Amino acid sequence: MIDFHMHTFLSDGELIPAELARRVEVKGFRAFAFADHVDHATVEATVPVLVRAARELSAVMSLKVLASCEVTHCRLEHIAAVVARARQLGADLVIVHGESPVEPVLPGTNRAAIAAGTDILAHPGFITEADAREAARRGVALEISGRRGHSLTNGHVTVTARAAGAAVIFGSDAHGPQDLYDRAGAEAVLRGAGLSVQEVAAAFRYAERLAKF
């Protein structure tokens, strides 16, 4: 199991980094990432803490721990700068909170995130085929979400990503222990979103590449 979209209490999650790491270790994870919410005001404070936690835990655990962040509800004009700053601060991966149908995300966020070169566009809602084609061109993965609400458009994301040739990836968007998926649970979400068995395997191979296995 690999999951790069998991929150701690450094944003709106329930667990400290060490406990989240232990809980996914018990579930047999090979790799995961802390991905707390950031914007232009909080990226400086949050990302270095996640980077330190990831490095210290990776040094003593059998699984790979990465530092990520989720650039969330930013103004369109700020997205590229926050993505770039997160990388400068040491983030292994950067996620941008996409245009979920259950939150008032600014229209144009999907396109701005893709243009900024984010690694993963989380729960991109009713993403257009044009934006999905640009994601494919720039190597941005589109998330199939395990989170209630965000998952409402998983089927649309699957169909649009397939038509555009864009990669898809599973993300739990976990905020607490009850949100954690094992590999079988994640595969069920992906299959329920319309992916074939072969496409599910490809989604996890993509995750392995991002984890640099």
Q: Where residue 120 falls among pLDDT bands split at 50, 70, 90?
A: very high
- The whole-model pTM stands at 0.97
2-211 belongs to CATH 3.30.160.110: no
Sequence-separated (6 or more) residues with CB below 8 Å from residue 210: 4, 93, 119, 120, 141, 169
Q: Convert the pLDDT of each residue in 4-17 to its tens digit.
A: 999 999 999 999 99
Domain spans of the chain, in order of start:
2-211
pLDDT of 186 strictly over 90: yes
Distance, CA of 102 to chain centre: 17
Q: Where residue 177 falls among pLDDT bands split at 50, 70, 90?
A: very high
- Cα(206)–Cα(97) distance, rounded to whole angstroms? 19
Q: How many residues does the chain have?
A: 213
Distance, CA of 23 to chain centre: 18
Among 169, 194, 149, smallest CA distance to 32 is for 169
Average pLDDT over every residue of 174-181: 98
Residue 213: its pLDDT value, please?
86
Q: Rounded to the nearest 5 degrees, what angle is found at the Cα of 130, between the Cα atoms of 128 and 131?
A: 70
Q: Are 67 and 34 in contact (CB under 8 A)?
A: yes
